[in-house]
Amino acid sequence: MNKSKLVSWLGNASSSVRRVQALIQREFWLLVRLKWLWIVTPVVVLVGNSFITPFGNEVTVTGGWIAVAASETAVAFASYFAVPVAFRSIIHSRQSGNIRITAGTPLTRSEIIIGTAFGRGLALFCPVLMGVVGTAILGWNHYGTLPVFLLIGYTVVTALFILAVVATITAISAVVESTVHAVACSTVCVIVMAYWTDIVAAIHQFITSQNVSIGQPPQSVILLVARRLTPINSFFVVVNTLTGVGNTDSNFVDSIQYGLQGEAGYHVGALFGSGYPIVLSPWVSVLILIAWIIVPIAFASAVFSRLDLPVQSDKFRNIFSESVPRIFRRTSYRLGFIPFRVVEFVMGAVNSDPTSESWLPIARREFTDILRSLAAPLLFGLVVMAYLYSLTTISPNISSQIGQQLPAAVGQQAVTIFGLVGPVFLGYRSIAEERESGTIRYTAGLPPSRTSVLIGKGAGLWFALSVIIGYALIVCFAIGSIQTGSFPSVAFSGTLVATIMYIGTNTAIVVALSSFFSRGVAAVSAAIVYLFFVLFWSGIHPIIWDSIFGYSYIIQPPPPDSLYFLTRRLSPRQAVTVLWNWAIGVGNSGSSYTMVLHIENAVTSPNLNALTHSLVVDVSYSDGQVPIILSPVASVGTLAVWGIIPFALALRRFQTSDLT
């Protein structure tokens, strides 16, 4: 009896494997044929090439192992492509109804998720592998040696890492109820992974009231284990161990920098010696990578098996409507509508020709839809939570240096992130989704011209986001002023104006991108690329510069290279940070105010070192002869150019586009 059950189980398992294998092949070939996917290869090579000589000529670190390790950060960056690769993998089939066809085959729902995750993961791994090999060849050419067995081991770890991230995004796609939720949750997931070490350090500091120094962290097993819980950090641990850098979850460049400065960093051997706890073993990090493949798929399979295949689009909106008191929703809506009515009144007062205001009704509709949606309270709450997080975790040293400007300063991180994320998530569908569904033809057939439609869509989104984030900042400033006892009114006003400009720039760009595409997937892919471009420009810039000119500056202070400084602050996020720092009286820089103060302290103190790509104009141009293009006022022009030119191009294209 037992033997017959075993034979039956083996037969079922064999059939399941064959079904999953067929689905893996289908998903793999579906994606690997897409031309845009192979953009990943030159991205990995470009980023990896800058790490072949990571310290330039200032610090001599050589060895054939760098030819392999050089693509470590590039692979971590390439994992962000898992979002466009997998965020629609399941939910799109549910929304279109195609999932019912797939579900009607012998495939079980668990097999659908497994086959989709592995097929798409392997498809993304192919261009990543080509980039890794290309970087290794460049390193071989530079160092003259290439450890082949090390490269093979590194390739296996890379495959595990890519599969882990794609499996997580696929699992998200399987459990959400709409494409919007899928792209939002997937993007938030990879951003949390990217900033995970900062989040863990802040939580540890909040709980223990112990400052977490980057160079000399506390000997806390819990802290180090928590840092390794994401695929990125576990990937770094395994790669660093293979290449001989050591048992550390920082990338190999940062790990070497800590050693050059005589600091432990997060090197387990330097903190605990040879008798470190087994949970900090590199083999545990391998298990964590494997767990990130198995656990999300298992969880998604359990949830997906109980879901109705047709999506319930209003599920979360109904939960919000039922859980929030009606009087609160009505009051918040009326309060939010006040600024828009002021704009309408001013427009009517200064313009006597009503036909020139044909975009206003469209803007009002867009504004109203956003203000009544779940996005409004969610974005408001996220900004306030991020502000409180920064306020409660700021180090005493930075707090004393910033002084009376602290209530305004700590909102910087929240605004630069959510002033970008809000426009991206709410704006990418503004035109593309209506074109894909066909409703744009009805809108375009109304008396307002196509120009009015595009301006109205952009203006309505800009007004709505400015109101939501603006009110959130007012609440945050009030909380910060009460806690610190200071009220820097000039800084409050300056940062609020800079925030509105920043939101307007990002809104114009995202709406312009949405109008360029007739399909939602293309629009969201372009919007996500823009999101990561702006978020990580400070890290991308030195890589591109080093690839073109063969050098970049890492040791502070760098020489006064005007073109290098200017190109660093060309991103909207760096431009608004310059204005924010100007408003709170910190140095002229596109880096966060905490980094600016750290660099200024390091430059003036012989006991401190600063190895960073961050730039502070006041430090490098110590003679006071700052070019006008590097003045804070020039950043206003940067934001204006970023907003006006893409939107103007979109207007011209949209007027002649075929909307069918």
**Domain-located, residue 543:** no
Q: Do residues 233 and 281 share a domain?
A: yes
pLDDT score, position 326? 57
Q: Do residues 258 and 403 share a domain?
A: no
Measure the CA–CA gap between 112 and 173, rounded to whole angstroms: 12
Q: Do residues 513 and 480 share a domain?
A: yes
Measured CA to CA in angstroms, residue 43 lies from 36, 46, 80, 252 at distances of 12, 5, 12, 19
Measure the CA–CA gap between 538 and 263, rounded to whole angstroms: 24
Half-sphere exposure of 78 (CA within 13 A, CB side): 33
Angle between helices 359-371 and 326-350 (to 10 degrees): 160
Measure the CA–CA gap between 463 and 363, rounded to whole angstroms: 8
Measure the CA–CA gap between 160 and 287, rounded to whole angstroms: 10
Q: Do residues 432 and 285 share a domain?
A: no
pLDDT score, position 591? 85
**For residue 515, what are its two tokens?**
């109008």
Higher pLDDT: 52 or 72? It is 72
Contact 124, 40 (CB under 8 A): yes
The total number of structural domains in the chain stands at: 2
Contact 128, 215 (CB under 8 A): no
Question: What is the rounded average pLDDT of the residues 297-317?
Answer: 72
Measure the CA–CA gap between 551 and 460, rounded to whole angstroms: 44
DSSP 626: -
pLDDT score, position 59? 42
Question: What is the rounded average pLDDT of the residues 268-276?
Answer: 77
Measure the CA–CA gap between 55 and 59, rounded to whole angstroms: 5
3-state helix, strand, coil in the chain (%, to 5): 75, 0, 25
pLDDT digits (tens, 9 = 90+) for 360-372: 888 888 888 888 7
Cis peptide before 448 (omega within 30 of 0): no
pLDDT score, position 57? 45
Q: Do residues 207 and 346 share a domain?
A: no
pLDDT score, position 539? 80
Q: Where in 279-436 does DSSP place strands (E)?
A: none
**Domain-located, residue 257:** yes
Measure the CA–CA gap between 534 and 531, rounded to whole angstroms: 5
Above 70 in pLDDT, residue 65? yes
**Domain-located, residue 314:** no
Q: Do residues 167 and 91 share a domain?
A: yes
Mean predicted lDDT score pLDDT of the chain: 80
Half-sphere exposure of 539 (CA within 13 A, CB side): 12
Q: Do residues 284 and 349 share a domain?
A: no
Measure the CA–CA gap between 539 and 185, rounded to whole angstroms: 24
Q: Do residues 411 and 444 share a domain?
A: yes
**Domain-located, residue 557:** no
Please report the sign of the dihedral spanned by the C-alpha atoms of residue 416, residue 420, residue 421, residue 423: positive
**Domain-located, residue 344:** yes
Lowest average pLDDT, out of 29-33, 312-316, 415-419, 586-590, goes to 312-316
Above 70 in pLDDT, residue 386? yes
The rounded radius of gyration (Å) of the Cα atoms in the chain is 26
| Of 348, 372, 352, nearest in space to 361 by CA | 348
Question: What is the rounded average pLDDT of the residues 209-217?
Answer: 68
Domain boundary among 305, 339, 368: 305
Q: Do residues 348 and 295 share a domain?
A: no
Report residue 555: phi and psi, to 5°: -90, 130
Helix (H/G/I), strand (E/B), else coil: 267: strand
**Domain-located, residue 449:** yes
pLDDT score, position 213? 66
Question: What is the rounded average pLDDT of the residues 151-175?
Answer: 93
Distance, CA of 429 to chain centre: 19
DSSP 263: -
Domain boundary among 245, 271, 305: 305
Residue 92 corresponds to which amino acid? Answer: H
| Of 470, 455, 451, nearest in space to 511 by CA | 455
Measure the CA–CA gap between 588 and 574, rounded to whole angstroms: 11
Measure the CA–CA gap between 46 and 40, rounded to whole angstroms: 10
Q: Where in 391-515 does DSSP place strands (E)?
A: none
Distant-in-sequence, close-in-space partners of 626: CB < 8 Å, separation ≥ 6: 588, 617, 618
**Domain-located, residue 31:** no
**Domain-located, residue 581:** no
Residue 205's pLDDT band (cuts 50, 70, 90):
confident
Q: Do residues 329 and 424 share a domain?
A: yes
Measure the CA–CA gap between 478 and 415, rounded to whole angstroms: 16
Burial of 157 (0-12, 13-18, 19+ CB in 10 A): buried
Above 60 in pLDDT, residue 302? yes
Paired residues of 611 in beta bridges: 555
Q: Do residues 381 and 279 share a domain?
A: no
Rounded to a whole number, what is the distance in angstroms from the first to the last CA of the chain? 64
Contact 576, 635 (CB under 8 A): yes
* pLDDT more than 90, % of the chain: 22
The residue to which tokens 């420009």 are assigned: 537
Distant-in-sequence, close-in-space partners of 89: CB < 8 Å, separation ≥ 6: 27, 116, 117, 120, 169, 170, 173, 174
Measure the CA–CA gap between 278 and 258, rounded to whole angstroms: 24
Above 60 in pLDDT, residue 165? yes
Distant-in-sequence, close-in-space partners of 549: CB < 8 Å, separation ≥ 6: none
Domain boundary among 305, 339, 365: 305
Paired residues of 606 in beta bridges: none
Question: What is the rounded average pLDDT of the residues 386-394?
Answer: 82
pLDDT digits (tens, 9 = 90+) for 603-651: 666 555 555 667 788 888 877 788 888 889 999 999 999 999 999 998 8
Beta carbons within 10 angstroms of residue 7's beta carbon:
10
pLDDT score, position 58? 43
Q: Is the pTM of this model over 0.85?
A: no
Q: Do residues 216 and 343 share a domain?
A: no
Domain with 142 in it? 36-305
